[in-house]
Amino acid sequence: MIYEDFANAQSFFLWSTFAIALIMGAVVNKTNFCTMGAVSDWVNMGDTGRLRAWVLAIAVGVLGVMALEAAGMVNVTSTFPPYRQTALPWLEYVLGGGLFGIGMVLASGCGNKTLIRIGGGNIKSVMVLLVIAVIAYYMINPFPGSDQTLYSTLFYPWTNPTAVALSTNQDLGAMLFSDNVATGRMAMGGIVGVLLLAWAFKSADFRGNFDNILGGLVVGLAVLAAWYVTSNIAVNADGEMMSLQTYVQEWDMYAPADAVKPAAAGPLASQSFTFINPMGQTLGYAASGFERTLLTFGIMALAGVIAGSLLWSLISRSFRIEWFASGRDFVNHLIGAILMGFGGVLAMGCTIGQGITGFSTLALGSILTFVAIVVGSAATMKVQYFMMMRE
């Protein structure tokens, strides 16, 4: 996908993101694909149907990335965010994932589910989105009149020193097969992907549930589609094919005088779906008066999922306005949103961003985050059940 000018290339980059997210949002709403619900069904009822749908999405992502990367069709190493970075801030992955897992239980869903619920008419989730957005924004951006962020103030001094500096990228293929990384990534992708796929389809109940299979398949394919599109858009700069990120980095050399330069080059790197940091990006975009230079993949993905969910809600006539049932319900959602905001940025992703997109790269940090999210949410559900029984 080669364009003669940056504006058209960026437009395709953004609108293709919206289109993929629109489809994903509609299907997730239709099939009730929900990662928090998956853990809840498993912990509270022993039902693994939606958990297997989540695992199916991961398997599709892992196997798809393995095949596309081997064919040179995607770039999942130099990405935004950098899942395969050589630094391994393991404490941030574990702590952030745990906080996010607790938060999504209290707030009735993860970041993606929050967007789906908004599209379905849930006003509670609008509050959750706004709280996450404020925290996510200030975790990365400095307070007004200061050079300090929430991350640098609350976490960096004691979490960053625990980071491990690796001699390779942190994906399993590179770590285990450092002498032949390409072969290692194919081998590990194939092994992990097939094992996940086999476990997902081992259940006869799952094999007979069309919605669970459709939800897992479409979410996995949406993650793959985003990886492919964002890895393959290029601009013809005086005969040299450049990625959008590289073009912006060399802006003064190639861009015409009347071109509009994006605020940052990083968000134009190859990437796929994640939803916590984009909530912060969306807040910044709205606060700027919808400044065009701040429009990113993440903002378009967020808008696309909400629009897709709304579309299905209207088609299926399931759109319902929902408000807080009580003061306690409000407080739970507020605390949950706060924890998801901190946890999602600290862990560099959510149940989709790390649990599927990051996992598809087989990054160790993504796997740690996935486990921490599941443990955090499962433990919270057990505590809730214990307190309910006492009452």
Name the least confident of 131-135, 175-179, 180-184, 253-257. 253-257
Residue pair 36/197 in contact (Cβ under 8 Å)? The answer is no
pLDDT band at 53 (very low <50, low <70, confident <90, very high): very high
| Side chain identity at residue 236, one-letter code | N
Phi, psi of 5 (to 5 degrees): -140, 155
Query: Can you tell me the distance from the alpha carbon of 236 to that of 246, in angstroms, rounded to the nearest whole number?
Result: 12
The H or E element containing residue 240 is strand 240-243
Average pLDDT of the residues of the chain: 96
Q: Is the pLDDT of residue 391 over 80?
A: no
Give the HSE-up count for residue 83: Cα atoms under 13 Å, Cβ half-sphere.
32
- List the chain domain ranges: 2-390
Q: Exposure of 93 by Cβ count < 10 A (0-12 exposed, 13-18 middle, 19+ buried)?
A: buried
Residue pair 120/29 in contact (Cβ under 8 Å)? The answer is yes
What's the whole-number mean pLDDT along residues 34-41? Answer: 95
What's the whole-number mean pLDDT along residues 270-297? Answer: 97
What's the whole-number mean pLDDT along residues 343-353? Answer: 97
**What is the pLDDT at residue 265?**
95
Which residues does 357 contact at the CB level (< 8 Å), separation at least 6? Answer: 61, 83, 223, 226, 227, 271, 272, 273, 274, 349, 366
> Would you state the torsion angle of the CA atoms of residues 106, 107, 111, 115, taken in this order, to the nearest 10 degrees?
160
Q: What is the pLDDT of residues 100-109, one digit of tens each?
A: 999 999 999 9
The H or E element containing residue 59 is helix 49-70
Name the least confident of 21-30, 237-246, 295-304, 355-364. 237-246
**What is the pLDDT at residue 390?**
81
Facing residues of 100 across strands? Answer: none
